[in-house]
Amino acid sequence: MKLLISVSLGLIIVATPAAAIETCRFIEAKAEREACYHRQEQELAARRKPEAPATQSSESKTFDQLQQMRRDDAEVYRSIRGICNGC
């Protein structure tokens, strides 16, 4: 049972993406090794793709929230001004 668990853990560790990066290094044929690196670059680029720009509706929603915060701040500042005038 312990042997089965240790073998399973070993396979999980080998199957990680970091291990996949290391495997290209050991390919002896130059063309195949370069092809392997090229595939990895494409996979990394696909994972790092920037998110789509915000839509107009989300920008206007953010702007509305910012305006509401400014109104709330102005209200708080007005109420604080009367608390301690010239302490």
Read off φ and ψ for residue 79, nearest 5 degrees: -70, -35
Q: Which helix (H) or strand (E) holds 18?
A: helix 17-23
What distance, in Å, lies between the first and last C-alpha atoms of the chain? 77
Q: What is the pLDDT of residue 75?
A: 92
Residues 84, 87: Cα–Cα separation, whole Å: 6
For 4-38, the pLDDT digits (tens) are 666 666 656 555 555 555 688 888 899 999 999 99
* Global confidence as pTM: 0.36
- 62 CB-near residues (< 8 Å, 6+ apart): 54
For 42-63, the pLDDT digits (tens) are 998 888 877 666 555 777 888 9
